[in-house]
Amino acid sequence: MLMLEMMTSVKNKICIQRINSAAAAMCIGMGSFSDPIDVPGLAHILEHMLFMGSAEFPDENEYDSYLSKHGGSSNAYTEHERTCYYFQVKDEFLKETLKRYSQFFISPLVKPKALEREILAVDSEFYKDLQNDAHRLAQLRCHTAASGC
């Protein structure tokens, strides 16, 4: 658990508000270097898809909605050799959040409509970064990696 203190000034008086927050993260040792040569972007697409529901919590927006209602947020990112998923929430909601979060890895749903939408999202991110030199270097590393990307 993490305790944050926020200081605010109200009519020349300082108020201290304590906010108890909990967080969790999980990194998986599979990233873009693990993509099959004929399916580039697969790790990134799967990163997006895991947030789209599970067998126990099938609604696509249930996780984000739950976090929003309980002072939390989440995100994920795909690197060359790993993909990381993380969240933070008010500490009293950690147990219920972990139930939802863990189901992404236990029984994720890959709904065809969501998959189509996320492929477009990942494609859009890719094309947006084509002129970015750091992205170009990453692609060069990816394509010259021993086992492909």
Residue ranges per structural domain of the chain: 22-110
Catalytic site includes residue 118: yes
Q: Which of 79, 116, 118, 125 is catalytic?
A: 118
| Distance, CA of 141 to CA of 117 (rounded, Å) | 28
What residues have CB less than 8 Å from 61, skipping those under 6 apart?
A: none
As a whole number of angstroms, the distance between CA 104 and CA 91 comes to 20
15: three-class secondary structure by DSSP: strand
Residue 47 annotated among the catalytic residues of the structure: yes
Distances (CA, A) of 145 to 38, 105, 131, 133, 139: 15, 27, 21, 18, 10
Residue 2, by phi and psi: left (phi above 0), alpha (psi -120 to 50) or beta?
Answer: beta
Most confident of 19-33, 75-89, 133-147: 75-89
From the list 5, 47, 56, 79, the catalytic residue is: 47
Nearest-10 Cα torsion for 93, 99, 81, 109? -130
Residue range 22-110, CATH number:
3.30.830.10
| Statement: residue 11 has pLDDT above 60 | no
- 82-134 tens-digit pLDDT: 999 999 999 999 999 999 999 999 999 999 999 999 999 998 988 887 788 88
